[in-house]
Amino acid sequence: MADPPPEATDGPPKGKPRDPYFDNAKYLAIVLVAMGHVWAPLMPDSRAATALYMFVYAFHMPAFIMLAGYFSRSFTGKPAQIGRLISGVLVPYLIFVVGYTLFDRWVNNTDKPLLEPFSLLDPYYLTWFLIALFCWRLSAPLWRVLRWPLPISLAIAAIASVSPDLGNDFNIMRVLQFLPFFVLGMLLRREHFTLLVRREARIAAAVIAPVTLVFTYWVAPRMDYHWFYRSHSAQGLGFTWDYGVIMSLALFGCGLVLTACFLAFVPRRHLWFTALGAGSIYGYLLHGFLAKGSRWWGWYDLDWVQTPAGYVAITLIGAAVVTLLCTTPVQKMFRWVVEPPMDWAFKKDDPAAKPERVPAAK
């Protein structure tokens, strides 16, 4: 199977062998994303579902974003890279914003005309990640030349968390508040991930993760889970600005530790689901239609769902569905929207062209 464009999946450059560790990490992360969306409607009636949701949301997107930063280290803004960024990220963003908006009006907001104008600057649901990735990757050359990129990105995130007037265009609040994870990913090297899969790191992760989950169960009724979205300012959540700075740094630290725990558990060898990691962007973009539709169609109102066994069942169903959406047949079926062919839109490099010689000064 040909590797998808790196801009779409944050994979290795074309022609280089894929590392099973990173494909395993991406597959497991997208399964956690789907599970989080499955648990969301259960939270009003279940403290356990709320705790699991908050626990997963503390690190699943940070892990994705950190990997995106890691695979953006070679981005310098060359024409070919810009072209792949447009075709692999920006165009799918536009397609899926339109797709999700029309789906919403067709199934949920049926009182709105299907073709009533809407803004492409307002990411719908999970499409925020695509436009955020577009912005982050464009900024990659900047972070490589700065002397203190991570502290600067943390300062930007903290300032964003106390800036209620930033507006909602391109979900800029999330773009800025999640930025440190992308920058950190750019600073990492392969040996850093190797350290995480050592026996000592896995033992530490095996202690930290369950302790954190128990703590999350305790804190669930006492904390607003919207903090984990990074889509609001502190003032927007009803807190003073100093809470925003503290929570910005605390959430970064929490996300970093739990992401390290997650990556410590990721298998290094090739497994049955490794190849699915290359199609994780398909699972991410497509599962949202079922995640939204399941609520609008009333599936959560079924009696069997509102039981402990039902909670387990729909969690497994969510994992199975997103797994199916990462498979090769689904990729072939939806490649035209997830990875639309855009070669026709860009100039081709002329290998015969030579740079013009600048005459020496006399």
Q: For the chain, how many helices (H) and strands (E)? A: 17, 0
Q: Is 158 exposed, middle or buried (0-12, 13-18, 19+ CB in 10 A)?
A: buried
Contact predicate 285/126, CB 8 Å = yes
Tens place of pLDDT per residue across the chain (362 aa) = 333 333 444 555 555 788 999 999 999 999 999 999 999 999 998 999 999 999 999 999 999 999 999 999 999 999 999 999 999 999 999 999 999 999 999 998 778 788 788 889 999 999 999 999 999 999 999 999 999 999 999 999 999 999 999 988 999 999 999 999 999 999 999 999 999 999 999 999 999 999 999 999 999 999 999 999 999 999 999 999 999 999 999 999 999 999 999 999 999 999 999 999 999 999 999 999 999 999 999 999 999 998 999 999 999 999 999 999 999 999 999 999 999 999 899 987 644 444 444 444 43
Using the 8-state DSSP alphabet, how is residue 89 labeled?
A: I
**Closest of 322, 297, 321, 292 to residue 104, by C-alpha:** 292
Angle, CA 312 vertex, CA 310 and CA 314 arms, to 5°: 65
Long-range CB contacts for residues 294-298, cutoff 8 Å, separation at least 24? 294/41, 295/41, 296/107, 296/108, 297/107
What is each CA distance from 127 to 58, 67, 89, 236, 309, in whole angstroms?
A: 19, 18, 10, 22, 32
